[in-house]
Structure 1
Amino acid sequence: MTRVSTGIVFRPQQPPEDLRAVVRAADEAGVPELWLWEDCFLDGGLTAATAALAWSERVRVGVGLLPVPLRNPALAAMEIATLARLWPGRLVPVLGHGVQDWTAQVGGAVGSPLTLLREHTEAVRDLLDGRRVDASGRYVALDRVALDRPPAQRPPLLVGARGPRTVRLAGEVADGVLLDDSGSDPASVRRARGLVDEGRSASGRPGRAVVTVYAEVDPTEADLPARVAARVGELREAGADTVVLQGTAEQPDPRPLLDALAAAGLLPA
């Protein structure tokens, strides 16, 4: 089995003023990926990603996730394309339902979140691929829309998912799935691996869909490197391609997890 990629999460329990120090630590340690949340009503995901990309030299920055009820797909594609052109190969955007209570607070609730996610993801994907999009769906309406400056290569576009229908959709319309900590046990990852592969096969699109997993680890636990090595190993065996470690809400600083990844030999040489 191939070596799993690893990363850390900058949780929104930390204020944005702390981001620069975490980005610098991640870049210096050589961790492949740094991930950000976008939660109502905390920090903007793409704004924080722009800062993280500018402050670093090599780490890939993921945004998990961008709630689709909050953004028109044309605007989402414009923003993603700009970052992908400025920092080629270093952005991983994720689209998702968002928390339904929060989206209702801002007038974004819809009758079928799955339909919205499908229509939105397909439109963003096609716009980033440089296509002209004409869409007249239940929620997405685009009339001869095309990006003037699409990226030379579309960044991998993931879908954040929990339920089986959304996980399968991720394989069908996107490049893979992001599972949050609620789905990060090995059995859940195995189920997700199968559903994502099923969705990709049904779509007829080439390539293998990826499975990225957020895995919460308490950074205060004893023998942290061994705990991290075991967690990453079991998720790799279950089918994860990338395991992204995050601290707890009470201990959100991910820098101890960086040290644990290094001590466990899970960072690139």
Structure 2
Amino acid sequence: MRGIELTPEHPPNRIASLAAQAEAEGFDTAFVSSHYFNRDPFVTCSKIAESTDEIRIGPGVVNPYETHPVRLAAQVATVDEVSDGRAVFGVGAGDRSSLSNLGIDRDRPLRRVLETFDVARDLWAGETVTHEGTFTANDASLNLEPPSERIPVYVGAQGPHMLRMSAKHADGVLINASHPADLEWAGEQIEQGLADRPDERGSFESLAFASTSVAGDEETAREAARPPVAFIVGGAADPVLERHDIDPDAAAAVSEALERGDLPDAFDRVTAEMIDVFCIAGTTETVAARFEAALEHVDGIVVGSPLGPDLEDAIERASEALRSACGD
């Protein structure tokens, strides 16, 4: 996969235009990120469907806490319907700090994510579902039939258990990492999950969902990386911070600022070391070299937020960097 994350911090029509550009540049999948403070990802996906012809479209990633899982299944099925079968379902446990802002406790995240896409698959197949687990559904069914024979499920993952679960049960994984050391470690967890994967599940795709910031100037690209890196740091597990010698107090300060909802302070607290570890940032040549290193450990790359200080320019540069990394 050559995917791209589009963040609906801009109006849906602007995001749809960016998706059309991404399609023309050779990207095959557009994931629309989901945060409560941005525009709705599913409305944005529908606009993208109107503006494109072939690129696959879906949320990347939504969580099954803010929205009931059955409702998520209906929303993804609707995207599949309006796009003539181009939907993908990117689902994950959600950002702990953002959920905290809404008073939501992220309870039993692995189980919740697995149950969410298991139920979604049954609903998409036309079944009536009764489920009692991390959420409840009684005689639930959908009043529409998605055109896709099978909507692919990609799990957003970073921790070992979620990585293994995705390899065993999902169609792919979106590894929230960009550094080769993290991707290599994630690959080891995925291999353990694949060892238990039933044959009927079919093939599995491992993807680096890599925060990327590319521009003509290195420092400009790095400055644009601060917001997404803050959110990555805010959700990073202690072993990840230890792997890269990130000061835990500095990481905690970023996380605390996010939980207070003080985004400017959180962004200011992002250090140069954090950008090095959690983002692929720099010129086209720098980014191409980092993509090539990442592809030693994964099947493909989703070019993640922020893309760069100038979005149209960044899409063009990211596409060029991916072609170079893949030897095209």
TM over 0.5: yes
The CA deviation string for residues 32-52 of structure 1, in whole angstroms up to 9 with x for no partner, is: 222221112212111111111
SS at match of 1:125: helix
Larger mean Cα displacement after TM superposition, 222-231 or 147-156? 222-231
Residue identity in the other structure for 1:253? L
Higher Rg: 2
Gaps spanning 5+ residues in structure 1: where?
none
Gaps spanning 5+ residues in structure 2: where?
219-281
In the alignment, does 2:205 pair up with 1:210?
Answer: yes
Larger mean Cα displacement after TM superposition, 64-73 or 186-195? 186-195
Q: Distance in 2 between matches of 1:82 and 1:54?
A: 13
Residue identity in the other structure for 2:287? V
In the alignment, does 2:68 pair up with 1:72?
Answer: yes
Counterparts in 2 of 1:27-42, with a 5 A limit? 27-42=23-38
Contact 1:14/1:253 (8 A) holds in 2: no
Change (3 A) 1:168 1:190: same
Highest relative contact order (Cα 8 Å, sep 6+), 1 or 2?
Answer: 1
Give the equivalent residue in structure 1 for 2:149: 153
Deviation at 1:14, TM superposition (A): 4.2
Contact 1:168/1:198 (8 A) holds in 2: yes
Counterparts in 2 of 1:103-118, with a 5 A limit? 103-118=99-114
**Deviation >6 Å, runs of 4+:** none
Number of residue equivalences: 261
Contact 1:200/1:208 (8 A) holds in 2: no
The CA deviation string for residues 44-97 of structure 1, in whole angstroms up to 9 with x for no partner, is: 111111111111112222421111101112211111112213324422221111
SS at match of 1:23: helix
Question: CA RMSD, aligned part only?
Answer: 2.8
Residue identity in the other structure for 1:228? V
Change (3 A) 1:66 1:217: closer
SS at match of 2:54: coil
In the alignment, does 2:156 pair up with 1:98?
Answer: no
Deviation at 1:163, TM superposition (A): 1.0
In the alignment, does 2:188 pair up with 1:194?
Answer: yes
Change (3 A) 1:20 1:117: closer
The CA deviation string for residues 166-190 of structure 1, in whole angstroms up to 9 with x for no partner, is: 111212332121122xx22122222
Give the equivalent residue in structure 2 for 1:253: 311
Contact 1:11/1:252 (8 A) holds in 2: no
Deviation at 1:10, TM superposition (A): 1.9
Q: Distance in 2 between matches of 1:19 and 1:176?
A: 24
In the alignment, does 2:301 pair up with 1:243?
Answer: yes
Identity %: 23
2:290 pairs, out of 217, 231, 235, with: 231
Larger mean Cα displacement after TM superposition, 215-224 or 96-105? 215-224
Deviation at 1:13, TM superposition (A): 4.5
Q: Distance in 1 between matches of 2:212 and 2:10?
A: 16
Residue identity in the other structure for 2:109? P
Q: Distance in 2 between matches of 1:216 and 1:105?
A: 23
Larger mean Cα displacement after TM superposition, 65-74 or 147-156? 147-156
Q: What TM-score results when the alignment is normalised by the length of structure 2? A: 0.70
Change (3 A) 1:52 1:17: closer
The CA deviation string for residues 6-27 of structure 1, in whole angstroms up to 9 with x for no partner, is: 2332234545453133123123
SS at match of 1:127: helix
Residue identity in the other structure for 1:153? E
Change (3 A) 1:141 1:79: same
Change (3 A) 1:102 1:122: same
